[in-house]
Amino acid sequence: MEKKVTIRKAEKSDAEMIWQCNCEGLGYTFALEDTIRRVHDIMDRFPQDLFLVACVDDQPAGYIHATDYECTYMEAYKDIEELAVLPGYQGYGIGRKLLNEAEAWARECGVAGVRLISGFARTGAHQFYLKCGYTHRKDHKNFVKNF
C-alpha cells in the first residue's frame, strides 16, 4: 500500500521529532532540551522563515527549515538551514517533497534561487541534491569561534 505524504507548517510541539531527525537522520548529538529551546526560539524570532514538517500517514517523518540569504555580493537567495528525514521514512520521496515546497516558497518570494551547504562526508545527500537539480558550486571550509 502506498504511503500518504502530507506537508504542513511546523509547530513547537514538533521539536522532539526535529531532535530525533537531527540525531538519527543527520548524526547530531545536540541535547533534546536544547533542541526544544532552539526550535521555540527560532519560531518566535523568525516567523517569516519556512519551517515545514512532512508526515507519512499522519506521522511526522521529516522537516525542512529555510530562511533568507542576503549579502552584498550576489542576489538574494533562500537558504536551506536543515533538511532531515527519519531513516525509517527515507525512500518515500519526503526529502524531495520538502525541497519542492522550499523552492516554491523561494519563487513566490521572488529571489534568485535556493542554496544549501552539505558536509563533505554526506555523499549520499550530495547525490540526492544533484538528482533534485542542484549544482555543486564550490567547496569551502567552515570556521567558528565559540564564546
Containing 83, the helix (H) or strand (E) segment is strand 77-85
Domains in the chain: ranges and CATH: 5-132 (3.40.630.30)
Contacts of 105 (CB under 8 A, 6+ apart): 50, 66, 78
Per-residue model confidence as pLDDT tens digits over 96-142: 999 999 999 999 999 999 999 988 888 889 999 999 999 999 888 88
**Tens-digit pLDDT profile for residues 38-88:** 999 999 999 999 999 999 988 899 999 999 999 999 999 999 999 999 999
Average pLDDT, rounded, for the chain: 94
